[in-house]
């Protein structure tokens, strides 16, 4: 169990990173306060709630809406991944951490509690090593589940999983076809890169998901997807 000191230290690290992330598709940090033993973080209010709750209440999103939200999400991810001084990896992208504005027309990424500054992960060989804090495993990349080196594009896998979630209203491997599986089987399938686009996806969405869910060495960056993938590149924000 994490001590009170460690929880506060973790929250302060999140604030440090979040306060430097000024972007139109990232939830804005306002200030912190302390009430007795509670460390409080005040952030922008997103009145539309989370994408996950929207899916639970109303079912899958239409593909054009998913395309728009995906472009906005990739825009935020590309910004984080390309900060010149110290790029940031989110490591917990999922529908619950994507928030909607009041009219549910635009999204912002939130919850940077598991994020990592890449400069803190750099090894002597220039690679990146994992910490022992894996996010919600249904959205987690195989390289992280296998405790292998990872880089920026671990977030791209999670973006792909979030797109599946938006298109189907279910997290990956939680659809009716896979309801019989136990979590250990689901984790095995993800760790061995057996996650596939849903059969209901359009060819455009399937191609995008195949790129997001490819091997880490072949997986494109957020910037590359924004420039080259037809699922998102022709959309305006």
To which residue do tokens 């993800």 refer?
190
Using CA atoms, how far apart are residues 230 and 211, in angstroms rounded to an integer? Answer: 12
Q: Which are the catalytic amino acids? A: 92
Strands 38-43 and 88-89: unpaired
- DSSP notation for the chain: ---HHHHHHHHHHHHHHHTT---TTBPPEEEEEEETTEEEEEE---TT-BHHHHHHHH-PPPHHHHHHHHHHHHHHHHHHHT-SS--EE----SGGGEEE-TTSS-EEE---TT-EEGGGTB-TTS-B---S----GGG--HHHHTT----TTHHHHHHHHHHHHHHHSS-TT-SGGGTT--HHHHHHHHHTT-----TTS-HHHHHHHHHHTS-TTTPPPHHHHHHH-TTTTT---
């Amino acid at each position: 169990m994490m001590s009170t000191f460690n929880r506060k230290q973790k929250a302060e690290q999140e604030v440090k990173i979040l306060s430097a992330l000024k972007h139109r598709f990232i939830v804005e940090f306002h200030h912190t306060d302390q009430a007795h033993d509670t460390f409080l973080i005040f952030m922008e209010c997103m009145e539309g709630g989370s994408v996950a709750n929207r899916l639970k209440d109303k079912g899958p999103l239409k593909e054009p809406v998913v395309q728009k939200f995906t472009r906005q999400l990739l825009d935020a991810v590309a910004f984080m991944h390309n900060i010149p001084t110290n790029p940031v990896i989110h490591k917990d992208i999922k529908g619950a951490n994507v928030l909607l504005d009041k009219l549910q027309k635009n999204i912002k990424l939130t919850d940077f509690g598991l994020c990592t500054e890449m400069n803190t992960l750099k090894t002597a060989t220039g690679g990146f090593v994992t910490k022992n804090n894996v996010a919600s495993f249904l959205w987690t990349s195989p390289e992280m589940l296998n405790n292998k080196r990872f880089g920026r594009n671990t977030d791209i896998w999670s973006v792909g999983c979030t797109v599946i979630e938006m298109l189907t209203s279910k997290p990956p491997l939680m659809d009716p076809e896979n309801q019989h599986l136990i979590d250990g089987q689901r984790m095995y399938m993800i760790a061995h890169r057996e996650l596939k686009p849903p059969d209901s996806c359009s060819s455009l969405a399937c191609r995008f998901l195949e790129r997001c869910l490819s091997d880490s060495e072949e997986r494109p960056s957020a910037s590359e997807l924004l420039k080259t993938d037809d699922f998102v590149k022709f959309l305006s924000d």
